[in-house]
Chains A and B, each alone.
Chain A
Amino acid sequence: MKWRRLIPQVLTYTAVIVLVISTVAPLLWLFIMSISSTPELTAVPLHWIPHQADFSRYGRLLTFAAHSAGEEFILAMRNSLAASFSATAVALLVGIPAAYSFSRMPGKRMKLLYAVLGTYMMPPVALILPLYMVFGALGLLNTVAALTIVYCTILLPFVTWLLKSNFDAVPIEIEEAARIDGVGLFGVLRHVTLPIAKAGLGTAALFAVLLAWDEFFYALLYTNDLRAKTLPVAIADFAAGRATDYGIISAAGILTAVPALVIAFFLQKTLIAGLSAGGVKG
C-alpha cells in the first residue's frame, strides 16, 4: 500500500528535476561562458567549471572607449532603449483612446478590431520592401525614428487589443455615475477608467517594451551602423565576427537578456492575458 503512493511521488520529483535541469542548464552555461577564460572554453575535453570567475568582459562591454566592443554595446543599448520606449509611448498614446472606443462603443467596429489584430500577426516580409523604399526616399534608413515607426506596426495592434479587454473589465456603472455628474468622455477616461485600469496599462506597457526589445528582422534591414543598430543586431554581428571570444558574446547575451527577464518577472501574474493576445515572438 505504501509503495503505491510512493511511486507516483518518485516519478513526479524525477520529472521535476529533469524539467529544472533542462530549463536552467543552457542559461547557466551561457553565464559560465561569460566568466570563463578563452583557453578554458576552447579546451578539449571541455573544462566545465572555470578555475577563476572572470567578470572583465562585463567591464569591457559597459566601458565606453572608442572603437571597442564597449562602444558598440553601449550605443546599441541606447538605440534599443530609445526605439523600445518611444514606440511604446506612441502605442499607449494612440492605443488607449482606440481601445476605449472598441470597449465602450463597439457597434459595428468590432470587425475592425479583428482586422487590426490580423495586421499584427502578418509576417514582416509583407511590409519590408515598400517600407525600405519609403525610408530610403525620406532619408530615414539607419535612424531610430524609422525603427520607432515600424515598431508601431507591432505594438499598436497588440496594445489596443490588450487594453480593450482591460477596459471591458472596468464596470460601466462607475463611468455612468461620473457622466451623470456632467463629466465629459475624455474626463471619464482620464479620471475614472484609466486609474482603475492602471495595472492593465502597466502590463500593456511592459509587454510592448518586451516585444520591441526582442525585435530583430526590421532592425537588421533598416539599420547598418551604431547610429541606429539595436542590441539584437549587435549580438548577431558579434556572433558573426571573426573574433573567437565566445565569452564576450555570451556576456553581451546575458546583458541583453537581463532587462527582458526582469520585465517577465513582473509580468508573471498577468502573463496569460498577454499571451493569448499573441504577446510572443517566435
Chain B
Amino acid sequence: MGLSSRERQAWALLLPLLVIIATVTGYPLINTFRLSFTDASLTGRNVAQHWVGFENYAYVFTDPDFGDAFRRTLYFTFVSVGAEILLGVLVALLLNREFRGRTAVRALLVLPWALPTIVNAMMWRLIYNPEFGSLNALLLQLGLIDSYQSWLGTPGTAMNMVILADVWKNYPLVAIIVLAALQTIPRELYEAASIDGAGPWLKFWKVTFPAILGPLSVALVLRMIEAFKVFDIIYLMTRGGPADSTKSVSFFVYQESFAYLRAGSGASYAVTVTLTSAVMIAAYIMLLRRQSSTA
C-alpha cells in the first residue's frame, strides 16, 4: 500500500536498468569475491572448487611480483596523469589566446582523443620499431642518437615509451575540459586584476586557477581511474615485457586467470585491484556530488 502511484512509476521505469545491472555487473562482482576464497581453476569443467579461506589473499600480499606490478601501475598512473594534467592546462591556456586558425586547431585536438586505443597503441609500436621505426630514423637523422634503439625492448625505457604514447592520446581530453572552464571566466576579472597591478603569474593563481580547479579535479580523478586499469596499450605494445617491466595489475590478473588458468587466485588479485579502484571511484563520486550541489 505504502507506495504512491508516482513512486511506483518511478521504480517501474528503473526496473529494467536495475535488473540488467544486477545480472551483468552485480552477480559477476559477487562471484569474483566468492571465487577469491576458492582454488577454482579455468581448466576442466567439473573440477571441484574448494574453499580455501584467506589463503589466496595471504599469497597476494606477500607476492613480490604482484607488489612490483602494483608499484609499476602506480608509476604509470602518476606519471601519465601528471603529464596529461600539465600539458592539458598549458595547451588549454594556449588555445584560449587569440590567434589565427584557433577553431581548426581546437578541432584537431579531438583526433587523438577519438583514435581507438588499440589503433593508438599499434601506431606508436610501429613508430618505435627498433629496426625500421620512424622515431629511430628521425632521431638518427637529427644526430640525437648514433644507432637505432630498441625503445620497447629495453626494460629501462619501455614503460616511459608506453607512457608517452598514452599521454599523447589522453592529454587532449584534459585540455578540452580545461578550455571549456577557461571560457567561462569573465574578462572583467582579468582587467580588475591588471588594475590592481597583478602580473601574469599572480593572475594565473588568483583568477585562472580557482576557475578551472573544479573541472580539473574531475578530469584528474577520472584519468587516474582509467590509467589504473591500463591494459589495452600494454597488451599491444609490450605484452608486459621486457622482463615484466611494463606488466600492470590488470595485465597481471589477465595472465594469472587466462594464461595460468588459476581462477581462484586470479580472483583474489582482481578483488585487490577492484578495491583500490573503488577508493578512487568513491573520490570521483564525492567530487561530482559536491559540484552538482554547488552548481
Q: How far is the CB of B143 from chain A (nearest CB, A)?
A: 12
Is the beta-carbon distance between A232 and B176 smaller than 8 angstroms? no
Asked if A33 meets B35 with Cβ closer than 8 Å, knowing A126-B274, A264-B114, the reply is: no
| B161 on interface, CB distance cutoff 8 Å | no
Q: How far is the CB of B146 from chain A (nearest CB, A)?
A: 13
Of the listed stretches B17-25, B56-64, B186-194, chain A binds B17-25
Please, how many angstroms separate the alpha-carbon atoms of A90 and B219 in the complex?
28
Please, how many angstroms separate the alpha-carbon atoms of A20 and B99 in the complex?
13
Among A93, A98, A117, A239, point to the contact of B125 (Cβ < 8 A).
Answer: A239
Interface string of B249-291 (1 = CB under 8 A from A): 1100110011000010011011101100110011011001100
Is the beta-carbon distance between A109 and B10 smaller than 8 angstroms? yes
Q: How far is the CB of A77 from chain B (nearest CB, A)?
A: 13
Is the beta-carbon distance between A19 and B118 smaller than 8 angstroms? no
A-side contacts of B270, CB under 8 Å = 123, 125-126, 128-129
Q: How far is the CB of B269 from chain A (nearest CB, A)?
A: 8
Please, how many angstroms separate the alpha-carbon atoms of A160 and B125 in the complex?
36
Q: Is the interface of B mostly helix, strand, loop or mixed?
A: helix
Please, how many angstroms separate the alpha-carbon atoms of A266 and B140 in the complex?
40
Is the beta-carbon distance between A23 and B111 smaller than 8 angstroms? yes
Please, how many angstroms separate the alpha-carbon atoms of A93 and B91 in the complex?
39
Please, how many angstroms separate the alpha-carbon atoms of A30 and B140 in the complex?
20
| B195 on interface, CB distance cutoff 8 Å | no
Of the listed stretches A60-68, A170-178, A191-199, A271-279, chain B binds A271-279
Among residues of B, the one whose C-beta sits closest to the C-beta of A157 is B21
B-side contacts of A153, CB under 8 Å = 21, 24-25
B-side contacts of A232, CB under 8 Å = 116-119, 232
Asked if A114 meets B176 with Cβ closer than 8 Å, knowing A42-B131, A121-B277, A129-B32, the reply is: no
| B86 on interface, CB distance cutoff 8 Å | no
A-side contacts of B127, CB under 8 Å = 26, 29
Please, how many angstroms separate the alpha-carbon atoms of A107 and B13 in the complex?
14
| A46 on interface, CB distance cutoff 8 Å | yes
| A15 on interface, CB distance cutoff 8 Å | yes
Which size class do A's interface residues fall under?
35 or more
B-side contacts of A125, CB under 8 Å = 229, 249-250, 253-254, 269-270, 273-274
Is the beta-carbon distance between B110 and A246 smaller than 8 angstroms? no
B-side contacts of A5, CB under 8 Å = none
Chain B CB within 10 Å, residue with most, of A129, A160, A250: A129
What would be 29 A-B contacts, judged by CB atoms less than 8 Å apart?
A12-B97, A16-B99, A19-B105, A22-B168, A23-B109, A23-B111, A44-B131, A45-B140, A46-B141, A48-B137, A97-B16, A98-B13, A114-B285, A117-B285, A118-B282, A123-B277, A124-B229, A125-B254, A126-B32, A129-B35, A130-B31, A246-B126, A257-B114, A257-B119, A260-B114, A275-B173, A275-B176, A280-B226, A282-B230
- Please list the residues of chain A having a beta carbon within 8 angstroms of any beta carbon in chain B: 12-13, 15-16, 19-20, 22-24, 26-27, 29-30, 33, 41-46, 48, 90, 93-95, 97-98, 100-102, 104-105, 107, 109, 112, 114, 116-119, 121-134, 149-150, 152-153, 156-157, 160, 185, 210, 213-214, 216-217, 220-221, 231-232, 235-236, 239, 246, 249-250, 253, 256-257, 260-261, 263-265, 267-268, 271-272, 275-276, 278, 280-282
